[in-house]
Amino acid sequence: MNLHANLIPLYMYLGHPLPRPEHLYDYLITRQGIVKRIESPVASADLLLAPIQADLIGLRLQPYPLQPLQLKVPRIPGCLLQAVLADARANIEQEVMYQFKLNAGEGWSVTLPAQERAWARVGYRSDPTNVILDLHSHHTMPAFFSKTDDADEQGGRLYGVIGHLDRPEPQLALRLGGYGHHLYNVPALAVFEEIGPFGEIYVNEAEMAAYHGDQSTWLSRWLPWR
Ligand SMILES: [Zn+2]
Protein backbone atom coordinates (compact mmCIF):
# COMPACT_ATOMS: atom_id res chain seq x y z
CA MET A 1 0.00 0.00 0.00
CA ASN A 2 1.28 3.43 -0.91
CA LEU A 3 0.73 5.71 2.05
CA HIS A 4 1.45 8.74 -0.13
CA ALA A 5 -1.12 7.94 -2.81
CA ASN A 6 -3.55 10.61 -1.69
CA LEU A 7 -1.04 13.33 -0.93
CA ILE A 8 -0.47 16.14 -3.43
CA PRO A 9 3.15 17.32 -3.49
CA LEU A 10 3.97 20.95 -2.63
CA TYR A 11 7.48 22.10 -3.51
CA MET A 12 9.47 25.23 -2.79
CA TYR A 13 11.18 26.31 -5.99
CA LEU A 14 14.80 27.25 -5.29
CA GLY A 15 15.95 27.19 -8.92
CA HIS A 16 16.89 23.55 -9.28
CA PRO A 17 15.62 21.48 -12.21
CA LEU A 18 12.23 20.02 -11.34
CA PRO A 19 10.66 17.16 -13.32
CA ARG A 20 7.02 17.49 -14.38
CA PRO A 21 4.38 16.16 -11.95
CA GLU A 22 4.32 12.37 -11.86
CA HIS A 23 0.61 12.18 -11.29
CA LEU A 24 -1.85 14.75 -12.70
CA TYR A 25 -0.74 17.84 -10.77
CA ASP A 26 1.34 19.34 -7.99
CA TYR A 27 1.96 22.75 -6.43
CA LEU A 28 5.02 24.98 -6.20
CA ILE A 29 5.73 28.00 -4.07
CA THR A 30 7.82 30.21 -6.35
CA ARG A 31 9.11 33.76 -6.32
CA GLN A 32 6.10 34.90 -8.37
CA GLY A 33 3.52 33.01 -6.32
CA ILE A 34 1.76 29.68 -5.94
CA VAL A 35 1.82 27.67 -9.14
CA LYS A 36 -0.29 24.63 -9.97
CA ARG A 37 1.40 22.37 -12.51
CA ILE A 38 -0.99 20.30 -14.63
CA GLU A 39 0.22 17.10 -16.23
CA SER A 40 -2.91 15.34 -17.47
CA PRO A 41 -3.20 12.76 -20.24
CA VAL A 42 -4.47 15.60 -22.45
CA ALA A 43 -2.06 18.45 -21.79
CA SER A 44 0.73 20.06 -19.80
CA ALA A 45 0.25 23.56 -18.44
CA ASP A 46 1.13 25.65 -15.42
CA LEU A 47 -1.31 28.02 -13.71
CA LEU A 48 -0.20 30.90 -11.51
CA LEU A 49 -2.99 30.56 -8.98
CA ALA A 50 -1.99 33.15 -6.41
CA PRO A 51 0.63 35.81 -7.14
CA ILE A 52 2.77 36.70 -4.13
CA GLN A 53 3.86 40.33 -3.88
CA ALA A 54 5.66 40.00 -0.57
CA ASP A 55 9.34 39.14 -0.42
CA LEU A 56 9.43 35.92 1.59
CA ILE A 57 12.76 36.74 3.15
CA GLY A 58 15.04 33.84 3.82
CA LEU A 59 13.24 31.25 1.66
CA ARG A 60 15.49 31.91 -1.38
CA LEU A 61 12.57 31.32 -3.77
CA GLN A 62 13.29 31.70 -7.49
CA PRO A 63 11.06 32.71 -10.41
CA TYR A 64 9.67 29.55 -12.03
CA PRO A 65 9.47 29.39 -15.85
CA LEU A 66 5.79 28.58 -16.40
CA GLN A 67 5.05 25.81 -18.89
CA PRO A 68 2.80 27.19 -21.64
CA LEU A 69 -0.15 25.05 -22.69
CA GLN A 70 1.07 22.00 -24.56
CA LEU A 71 -1.55 19.62 -25.91
CA LYS A 72 -0.62 15.93 -26.10
CA VAL A 73 -3.27 14.87 -28.60
CA PRO A 74 -3.61 15.39 -32.36
CA ARG A 75 -6.14 17.91 -33.59
CA ILE A 76 -9.75 16.84 -34.04
CA PRO A 77 -10.98 16.70 -37.66
CA GLY A 78 -13.28 19.61 -38.49
CA CYS A 79 -15.93 17.23 -39.84
CA LEU A 80 -16.62 15.97 -36.31
CA LEU A 81 -17.26 19.50 -35.10
CA GLN A 82 -19.54 20.01 -38.12
CA ALA A 83 -21.45 16.85 -37.22
CA VAL A 84 -21.89 18.08 -33.65
CA LEU A 85 -23.11 21.46 -34.87
CA ALA A 86 -25.68 19.82 -37.14
CA ASP A 87 -26.93 17.60 -34.31
CA ALA A 88 -27.05 20.45 -31.80
CA ARG A 89 -28.95 22.62 -34.27
CA ALA A 90 -31.43 19.78 -34.77
CA ASN A 91 -31.92 19.80 -30.97
CA ILE A 92 -31.89 23.55 -30.59
CA GLU A 93 -34.50 23.56 -27.84
CA GLN A 94 -32.20 21.82 -25.36
CA GLU A 95 -28.66 21.47 -24.06
CA VAL A 96 -26.78 18.45 -25.40
CA MET A 97 -23.46 16.98 -24.24
CA TYR A 98 -20.97 15.51 -26.70
CA GLN A 99 -17.77 13.65 -25.87
CA PHE A 100 -14.82 13.56 -28.25
CA LYS A 101 -12.79 10.37 -27.74
CA LEU A 102 -9.42 9.33 -29.07
CA ASN A 103 -8.94 5.57 -29.35
CA ALA A 104 -5.57 4.10 -30.19
CA GLY A 105 -5.58 2.86 -33.78
CA GLU A 106 -9.08 4.16 -34.45
CA GLY A 107 -8.65 7.91 -34.19
CA TRP A 108 -11.31 10.38 -33.15
CA SER A 109 -14.97 9.73 -32.53
CA VAL A 110 -17.86 11.59 -30.92
CA THR A 111 -20.45 10.06 -28.64
CA LEU A 112 -23.49 11.28 -26.76
CA PRO A 113 -23.13 10.09 -23.18
CA ALA A 114 -26.28 8.93 -21.42
CA GLN A 115 -27.85 12.22 -20.49
CA GLU A 116 -31.00 13.92 -19.42
CA ARG A 117 -31.52 16.81 -21.73
CA ALA A 118 -33.02 20.01 -20.42
CA TRP A 119 -33.22 23.64 -21.39
CA ALA A 120 -30.78 24.87 -18.77
CA ARG A 121 -28.69 21.93 -17.75
CA VAL A 122 -27.09 18.81 -19.14
CA GLY A 123 -26.85 16.09 -16.54
CA TYR A 124 -24.65 13.22 -17.59
CA ARG A 125 -22.83 10.23 -16.30
CA SER A 126 -20.33 8.40 -18.39
CA ASP A 127 -17.14 6.45 -18.49
CA PRO A 128 -14.40 9.01 -19.05
CA THR A 129 -12.07 6.48 -20.71
CA ASN A 130 -10.39 8.07 -23.72
CA VAL A 131 -12.53 11.20 -23.48
CA ILE A 132 -10.41 14.19 -24.43
CA LEU A 133 -13.07 16.90 -24.85
CA ASP A 134 -16.49 17.40 -23.29
CA LEU A 135 -18.44 19.85 -25.44
CA HIS A 136 -21.98 20.96 -24.67
CA SER A 137 -24.51 23.09 -26.43
CA HIS A 138 -26.04 26.25 -25.03
CA HIS A 139 -28.46 26.21 -28.00
CA THR A 140 -29.52 29.84 -28.68
CA MET A 141 -27.75 31.18 -25.57
CA PRO A 142 -24.19 32.56 -25.62
CA ALA A 143 -21.20 30.24 -25.23
CA PHE A 144 -19.88 30.80 -21.70
CA PHE A 145 -18.91 28.65 -18.74
CA SER A 146 -21.60 28.77 -16.09
CA LYS A 147 -21.21 27.97 -12.42
CA THR A 148 -22.94 24.68 -13.14
CA ASP A 149 -20.33 23.96 -15.81
CA ASP A 150 -17.58 24.82 -13.32
CA ALA A 151 -19.03 22.34 -10.85
CA ASP A 152 -19.30 19.61 -13.51
CA GLU A 153 -15.94 20.20 -15.18
CA GLN A 154 -13.52 19.18 -12.43
CA GLY A 155 -11.27 16.84 -14.41
CA GLY A 156 -8.14 17.40 -16.46
CA ARG A 157 -9.52 17.20 -19.98
CA LEU A 158 -10.68 19.85 -22.43
CA TYR A 159 -14.09 21.44 -21.99
CA GLY A 160 -16.05 23.42 -24.54
CA VAL A 161 -19.33 25.24 -25.00
CA ILE A 162 -21.09 26.12 -28.24
CA GLY A 163 -23.81 28.74 -28.37
CA HIS A 164 -25.90 31.06 -30.52
CA LEU A 165 -26.59 28.09 -32.78
CA ASP A 166 -29.48 29.96 -34.41
CA ARG A 167 -27.00 32.41 -35.94
CA PRO A 168 -24.93 31.97 -39.11
CA GLU A 169 -21.72 32.31 -37.04
CA PRO A 170 -22.27 30.35 -33.83
CA GLN A 171 -19.92 30.69 -30.86
CA LEU A 172 -17.29 28.29 -29.51
CA ALA A 173 -15.38 28.60 -26.22
CA LEU A 174 -12.73 26.14 -24.97
CA ARG A 175 -10.80 25.67 -21.74
CA LEU A 176 -8.49 23.11 -20.18
CA GLY A 177 -9.53 21.53 -16.90
CA GLY A 178 -6.92 21.66 -14.17
CA TYR A 179 -8.48 19.41 -11.51
CA GLY A 180 -10.63 22.07 -9.95
CA HIS A 181 -9.08 25.03 -11.77
CA HIS A 182 -9.32 26.02 -15.43
CA LEU A 183 -7.06 27.43 -18.09
CA TYR A 184 -9.26 29.63 -20.26
CA ASN A 185 -8.98 30.68 -23.88
CA VAL A 186 -7.51 27.53 -25.36
CA PRO A 187 -7.24 28.46 -29.07
CA ALA A 188 -9.82 26.51 -31.06
CA LEU A 189 -7.37 25.80 -33.86
CA ALA A 190 -5.07 24.08 -31.35
CA VAL A 191 -7.89 21.63 -30.70
CA PHE A 192 -9.65 21.38 -34.10
CA GLU A 193 -8.21 21.23 -37.59
CA GLU A 194 -10.88 23.72 -38.66
CA ILE A 195 -13.73 25.47 -36.86
CA GLY A 196 -15.90 27.08 -39.55
CA PRO A 197 -18.54 28.51 -39.21
CA PHE A 198 -17.79 29.05 -35.51
CA GLY A 199 -16.36 32.23 -34.09
CA GLU A 200 -14.19 31.88 -31.00
CA ILE A 201 -15.19 33.40 -27.70
CA TYR A 202 -12.42 34.55 -25.39
CA VAL A 203 -13.07 34.92 -21.70
CA ASN A 204 -11.94 38.05 -19.90
CA GLU A 205 -10.63 36.54 -16.69
CA ALA A 206 -11.07 39.75 -14.73
CA GLU A 207 -14.73 39.70 -15.69
CA MET A 208 -14.89 36.01 -14.83
CA ALA A 209 -13.57 36.81 -11.36
CA ALA A 210 -16.26 39.47 -11.01
CA TYR A 211 -18.83 36.95 -12.24
CA HIS A 212 -17.81 34.46 -9.60
CA GLY A 213 -17.86 37.15 -6.95
CA ASP A 214 -21.08 38.78 -8.03
CA GLN A 215 -23.22 37.00 -10.56
CA SER A 216 -25.23 40.10 -11.35
CA THR A 217 -22.36 41.97 -13.02
CA TRP A 218 -20.80 39.58 -15.51
CA LEU A 219 -23.88 37.55 -16.31
CA SER A 220 -26.04 40.60 -16.84
CA ARG A 221 -23.94 41.50 -19.88
CA TRP A 222 -24.89 38.21 -21.48
CA LEU A 223 -28.37 37.91 -20.08
CA PRO A 224 -29.71 41.45 -19.82
CA TRP A 225 -33.14 40.27 -18.67
CA ARG A 226 -31.69 38.91 -15.42
ZN1 LIG B 1 -23.03 25.27 -19.92
3 state SS for 69-110: CEECCCCECHHHHHHHHHHHHHCCCCCCEEEEEEECCCEEEE
- Ligand 1 centre to CA of 106 (Å) is 29
Position 35 in a domain: yes
Is there a single domain that holds both residue 127 and residue 59? no
d(CA 41, CA 177): 11
Write down the pLDDT at residue 2: 56
Q: Is 221 exposed, middle or buried (0-12, 13-18, 19+ CB in 10 A)?
A: exposed
Is there a single domain that holds both residue 99 and residue 157? yes
| Sequential pLDDT tens for the chain (226 residues) | 455 567 899 999 999 999 999 999 999 999 999 999 999 999 999 999 999 999 999 999 999 999 999 999 999 999 999 999 999 999 999 999 999 999 988 999 999 887 655 555 665 555 577 999 999 999 999 999 999 999 999 999 999 999 999 999 999 999 999 999 999 999 999 999 999 999 999 988 777 766 665 444 444 444 433 3
Q: pTM of the prediction?
A: 0.86
- Ligand 1 centre to CA of 76 (Å) is 21
Is there a single domain that holds both residue 142 and residue 160? yes
- 144: three-class secondary structure by DSSP: coil
Is there a single domain that holds both residue 83 and residue 195? yes
- Ligand 1 centre to CA of 69 (Å) is 23
